[in-house]
Structure 1
Amino acid sequence: MPTYHYRCRNCGYDFTMQQSFSDDPITVCPECAQEQVRKVYSAPPIEFKGSGFYRTDGASTSSK
């Protein structure tokens, strides 16, 4: 289940919530009870696996 990050525009409260894709977004702040909550979007984490991502993984040099 994905985890979403929310922030209240009224009081600035930050929180995360696990929700299904079919759930409605949260709009009411759990701290101040105002309808000022919005999702915070950020870049997803990137994880490089396998060869070819590091300087030492470059193409092998062959002697002619």
Structure 2
Amino acid sequence: MPRYRYVCESCANEIEAFQKISEEPLTTCPSCGGKLRKAIASVGVVFKGSGFYSTDSRSSSEKTKSSED
């Protein structure tokens, strides 16, 4: 289940909620009753292993051409 972060526009209270994608977003702050808005959070993505560089997907003949240029 995704975790969403909300921020109250009145009191700046931050709330995290686990909700289904099909559920309606939260609209009122439980602390003050103000309006909530969704906050954008950074996503932690780590790419491990080979295959993530442009040189990894090329054939050996194309690698030699690009290294000569």
Given the two structures, how large is their TM-score scaled by the length of structure 2?
A: 0.67
Report the 3-state secondary structure (helix = DSSP H, G, I; strand = E; otherwise coil) of the residue aligned with 2:40: coil
Q: What's the counterpart of residue 40 of structure 1?
A: 39
What's the offset of the Cα at 1:30?
1.0
Q: What's the counterpart of residue 61 of structure 1?
A: none
Superposed CA RMSD in Å reads 1.4
5+ unaligned residues in a row in structure 1: which ranges? Answer: 54-64
Query: What is the number of equivalent residue pairs in this alignment?
Result: 52
Structure 1 residue ranges, 4+ long, deviating more than 6 angstroms after superposition: none
Given the two structures, how large is their TM-score scaled by the length of structure 1?
A: 0.71
> 1:24, 1:4 → 2: CA distance?
12
What's the offset of the Cα at 1:48?
1.3
Q: Identity percentage over the alignment? A: 40
